[in-house]
């Protein structure tokens, strides 16, 4: 299946269809504790409004045996009906993989990663990884033009460059650039970690480095901004974690 041929609107529709068809079992399979969290995390990750997924889920609810009534009093919209006919019969595992693929998540890749204690890092990690990564980054991009600290700055996504921060912001006045590292939390409070490269960038850039934390994806996301985070009220302690990459080899 060519992901590039699936539009963002169709991805939102398919996510709504998945959540309607598989209901609480689908939430559990993706690692979400509730529908609001699923709407928030996947909605932001796809660069759209969380309410869009809820609306599409409600569109399909009358066609599945769940406790919700959905939009029973009007016919299904034609473009939704087209998606419904094409994907309604898709089994749970391939449908789950399809939804996960919309944001570049590959469960097979993570299934090979284990902690030093041997616990698998597989099922349920989709929600956590998406909330702490792409969903938080897309949230930042959506609100950046309205933030006093960054208003008027040109935004460049640097997540693929490995430079120790997620965004580089340039001012039209010619002043030095700013760096923003984005973190996400599923709850109102929690722990954030910085990699050695991120920590070094923060130590080097000081006032030009910002830590942007998006909180509370489970209910309603909000954010907190920390300029020069290593000198802020935050207290970072070095922590080490060992992971083991598991593989099976054969001689051919």
Contact (CB, 8 A) for 227 and 207: yes
Alpha-carbon distances, residue 45 vs 103, 176, 177, 208 (angstroms): 7, 29, 26, 26
Structure confidence at residue 3 (pLDDT): 55
pLDDT in tens, the chain (252 residues): 555 588 999 999 999 999 999 999 999 999 999 999 999 999 999 999 999 999 999 999 999 988 888 777 788 999 999 999 999 999 999 999 999 999 887 765 545 445 444 444 445 688 988 988 999 999 999 999 999 999 889 999 999 998 999 999 998 877 889 999 999 999 999 999 999 999 999 999 999 999 999 999 999 999 999 999 999 999 999 888 776 767 778 877
Q: What is the pLDDT of residue 115?
A: 47
Domains and CATH numbers, the chain: 3-108 (no CATH), 133-231 (3.40.1350.10)
Neighbours of 117 (CB within 10 A): 7
Q: Is the dihedral of CA 38, 40, 43, 49 positive or negative?
A: positive
Helices (H), 46-193: 50-60, 78-87, 92-101, 107-110, 125-132, 134-143
């Amino acid at each position: 299946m060519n992901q590039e041929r699936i539009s963002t609107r169709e991805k939102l529709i398919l996510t709504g269809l998945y959540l309607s068809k598989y209901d609480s079992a689908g939430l559990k399979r993706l690692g979400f504790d509730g529908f609001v969290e699923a709407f928030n995390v996947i909605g932001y990750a796809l660069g759209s409004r969380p309410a869009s997924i809820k609306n599409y889920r409600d569109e399909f609810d009358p066609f599945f045996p769940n406790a919700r009534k959905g939009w029973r009093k009007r016919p299904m919209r034609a473009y939704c009906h087209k998606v419904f006919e094409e994907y309604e019969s898709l089994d749970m595992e391939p449908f789950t993989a399809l939804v996960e693929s919309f944001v570049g998540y590959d469960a097979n890749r993570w299934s090979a990663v284990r902690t030093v204690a041997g616990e698998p890092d597989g099922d349920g990690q989709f929600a956590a990884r998406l909330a702490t990564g792409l969903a938080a980054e897309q949230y930042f991009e959506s609100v950046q033009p309205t933030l006093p600290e960054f208003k008027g700055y040109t935004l460049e996504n640097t997540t693929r460059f490995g430079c120790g921060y997620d965004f580089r912001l340039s001012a039209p006045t010619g002043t030095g650039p700013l760096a923003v590292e984005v973190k996400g939390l599923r709850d109102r409070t929690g722990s954030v970690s910085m990699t050695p490269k991120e920590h070094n960038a923060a130590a080097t850039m000081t006032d030009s480095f910002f830590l942007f934390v998006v909180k509370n994806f489970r209910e309603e996301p909000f954010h907190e901004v920390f300029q020069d985070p290593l000198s802020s009220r935050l207290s970072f302690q070095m922590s080490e974690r060992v992971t083991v990459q598991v593989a099976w080899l054969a001689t051919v």
